[in-house]
Amino acid sequence: MAQKPSIPKGTRDFTAEEMARRNYIFDTIRQVFNLYGYRQIETPAMENLSTLMGKYGEEGDKLLFKVLNSGDFLRAADPKLIEEGNTARLAAQICEKGLRYDLTVPFARFVVQHRNELQFPFRRFQIQPVWRADRPQKGRYREFYQCDADVIGSDSLLNEVELLQMIDEVFHRLGIRIAIKLNNRKVLAGIAELIGEPDKLIDITVAIDKIEKIGIDKVNEELAEKGLSQNAISALRPILEINGTLDERLQQLATLLDSSETGSLGVEELRKVCDTTASLGIRAAIDLDVSLARGLNYYTGTIIEVKALDVEIGSITGGGRYDNLTGIFGLPGVSGVGISFGADRIYDVLNTLGLYPDSAAASTKVMFANFGDKEAEASLSLIKELRQAGISAELYPDQAKLKKQFAYADALAIPFVAIIGENELNQKQLTLKNMNSGEQTPVAFGDIVSKLNELL
């Protein structure tokens, strides 16, 4: 036998059992997105490299999967680059296309390209795979799905409120207990301003992001290393130490950032989002986290992060407001806010907690055993009736040993097996075996639909 075939590292096959579970997650998310008036779009897997390059930083450019031009791809290649072994520049000459690295840049491209056909505010969602030439490791894949919802062309904070409601609803439906952390880029800017280091915003947020892990003293050491004055570090301390209820902390933050116009605006935005969300009622705990800074270079207002309460795993959903998504493609001044569900991590959380409902099993409800041609034909008639009634049913197609047929039903977790042998055929009744309890019940042919409706 030839060598067993394999797939590229970092990619996955999904078996029927895995697909049923993944579909359960995607369907749940899709239903909530639809309920909130978000509309699904799809973009091609391949984008022009000119669309993708330079959008994810130098490191990101390296992680793009590039698609070799068809035909004589060397024609456009500079021999000097080949000689020098300058593969980075050469790649750009022999590849015009690349695989989608995320859903955000293609979405921005989509909005600019279709702006005359779109209605703004544009609420869109997108559930598609993305590809990254990252080093594969546990929980990190080279092909994985993203589930993004964004609304662009509106700067109303009610959009943030709705996105929080959507997060709350999705995880409620999935049965996952979560905490939502909020911050605001303007608050971070206000803090940097307040302590007199407005240019060190990134160093500050990178450092304080680690406070839970390494403690405030180590954070202060790191800030000193980055060149922050002791004055600045001392001024930062009370901000990191605010405490009490959400309301109390927002109040303390407002007082501390009173002198910064930007910072005050940030606190005000946070308060409006928290108050409106609370007044509408939300199940998840919402918390302020001034150290939260995800995608800092990108977000300009609200920042959102979701953690599972019962499983140790990174963020399972994140998002925020950006003011210039489409600027990179020449359409400035379009504000948007969005969230992204991490389907692979949500999958892991549901597996860990065993939270899949029975409906997330890919399964025929009843298999008819095959005793031969005549019995099979009678079975097919009954199976037709069952399917018309919406009950998934199948005939074991071959007249194999009964043991093998039952093993098949067992392995596929099919809950009922219908047996029609010669006797049953003559009496126009079948024996219905419950594969869990082993119980066998005689059922007249005419009663099979109602009987299974009753049992399922």
Return the residues of window 288-347 that contact its own copies according to CB under 8 A: 329-331
Q: How far is CA 144 from CA 41, 104, 126, in A?
A: 18, 15, 13
Smallest distance from its own copies to CB 142, Å: 8
Nearer to its own copies among residue 35 and residue 444 (C-beta): 35
Q: How far is the CB of 213 from its own copies (least distance, A)?
A: 31
**What is the per-residue DSSP string for 155-186?**
--THHHHHHHHHHHHHHHHHT--EEEEEEEHH
Q: Cβ 14 to its own copies, closest distance in Å? A: 4
Binding residues among 32-61 for its own copies as defined by CB under 8 A: 34-37, 39-48, 50-51
What track of x and - describes contact with its own copies for positions 184 through 203 (by CB under 8 A)?
--------------------
The whole-angstrom separation of Cα 236 and Cα 22 is 44
Among 26, 53, 55, 82, binds its own copies (CB under 8 A): 82
Query: Helix, strand or coil for residue 321?
Result: strand
370 with 400: CB under 8 angstroms? yes
Q: Which stretch binds its own copies (CB under 8 A): 232-240, 317-325, 404-412, 435-443?
A: 404-412
CB 323 to its own copies: min, Å: 15
From 254, 412, 449, 455, residue interacting with its own copies (rule: CB under 8 A): 412
Among the listed residues 24, 65, 299, 406, the single contact to its own copies using CB under 8 A: 65
Query: Which one of residues 119, 245, 359, 436 is an interface residue with its own copies (CB under 8 A)?
Result: 119
Residue 360: half-sphere exposure toward Cβ, Cα within 13 Å: 18
Count of chain residues binding its own copies (CB under 8 A): 108
User: Which stretches of 316-401 are DSSP H helices?
Assistant: 343-353, 373-388
Integer Cα distance of 189 and 175 in angstroms: 36
Q: Which of 321, 296, 318 is nearest to 308 (CA)?
A: 318
Q: Which of residues 87-106 bind its own copies (CB under 8 A)?
A: 87, 90-91, 94-97, 99
- In the list 26, 53, 67, 289, the residue contacting its own copies (rule: CB under 8 A) is 67
| 283 contacts its own copies (rule: CB under 8 A) | no
Looking up tokens 């600045």 gives 232
Site for its own copies in 135-174 (CB under 8 A): 142-143, 151, 154-156, 158-159, 161-162, 165, 169
Dihedral (CA of 92, 97, 99, 100) sign: positive
Query: Which residue's CB is nearer to its own copies, number 137 or number 243?
Result: 137
Residue choice 24, 101, 110, 322 for contact with its own copies (CB under 8 A): 110
Cβ proximity of 429 and 444 under 8 Å: yes
Would you say 139 or 227 has its CB closer to its own copies? Answer: 139
Using the contact rule CB under 8 A, the part of the chain among 121-129, 283-291, 316-324, 352-360 near its own copies is 121-129
Sites for its own copies among residues 2-21 (CB under 8 A)? 2-8, 11-16, 19-20
E-strand ranges in 233-352 read: 285-288, 302-308, 317-322, 336-341
In this structure, what is the dihedral angle of CA atoms 112, 116, 122, 126, given to the nearest 10 degrees?
Answer: -60
Our CB check for its own copies shows the closer of 88 and 214 to be 88
Using DSSP's 3-state secondary structure scheme, residue 336 falls into: strand
Return the exposure string of 153-167: e unless at least 16 CB atoms fall within 10 Å of the residue's CB, then b.
bbeebebbbbbbbbb
* Residue ranges in 354-373 that form contacts with its own copies under rule CB under 8 A: 362, 364, 367
**Closest separation between CB of residue 394 and its own copies, Å?**
3
Chosen residue from 1, 241, 354, 403 binding its own copies by CB under 8 A: 1
Report 262-281 residues binding its own copies (CB under 8 A): 276, 279-281
Q: Please state, in angstroms and rounded to a whole number, the distance separating the CA atoms of residues 97 and 138.
A: 29
Distance CA 70, CA 86 (A): 21
Which of 333, 354, 397, 438 forms a contact with its own copies (CB under 8 A)? 397
Q: Which stretch in 120-128, 170-178, 317-325, 349-357 sits in contact with its own copies by CB under 8 A?
A: 120-128
- Contact between 443 and 430 under an 8 Å Cβ cutoff? The reply is yes
Query: Is it true that the peptide bond before 136 is cis, omega within 30 degrees of 0?
Result: no
